[in-house]
Amino acid sequence: MNAAQLTLLELAAQAAIGRREAHCQVAMADIYKAAGLMPATVDIPSGSRDWARAQGRELIAPWVDGSGLFEQITTIEPGALLGFRLGHTLHHVAIALSGGRMVHVAGDHGIQIAACIPAPWAQRMERIWRFKA
């Protein structure tokens, strides 16, 4: 992702702060879309926080892997989609921002920008994907 794209992503993340969204994957896709990086027509799967537990399988990672929009990487970089394990499955995503920050859905607080990736979340990180911009 180039510097201009990262700037647009940062602005989109800032504009989203406080917005309530029940599904983190929808919120992160909306930020990529607002930055002009993801086509507005891309359909994002949604499932409740308990979806993976009830279904016994992941929702987010298979979609990301099969979307053709992302490639898996091993090192966090600004603009990357971060996948976190909740329980036994990857069921929370965030976007890495510059300076080690991340934007994510923080429960009832809505979309927030964290100053860093908190240690408990870092321990739950399962996957990192680069957006193919």
16: left (phi over 0), alpha (psi -120 to 50) or beta: alpha
pLDDT of residue 106: 85
According to CATH, the superfamily of the domain at 3-131 is endopeptidase domain like (from Nostoc punctiforme) (3.90.1720.10)
Q: What confidence tens digit (pLDDT) does each residue in 30-83 have? A: 999 999 999 999 999 887 666 666 777 788 899 999 999 999 999 999 999 999
State yes or no: pLDDT of 84 exceeds 80.
yes
Domains of the chain, by residue range, sit at 3-131
Helix (H) or strand (E) holding 98: none
Report the distance separating Cα 87 and Cα 84, nearest Å.
10
Q: 10 pairs with which residues across the strands?
A: none
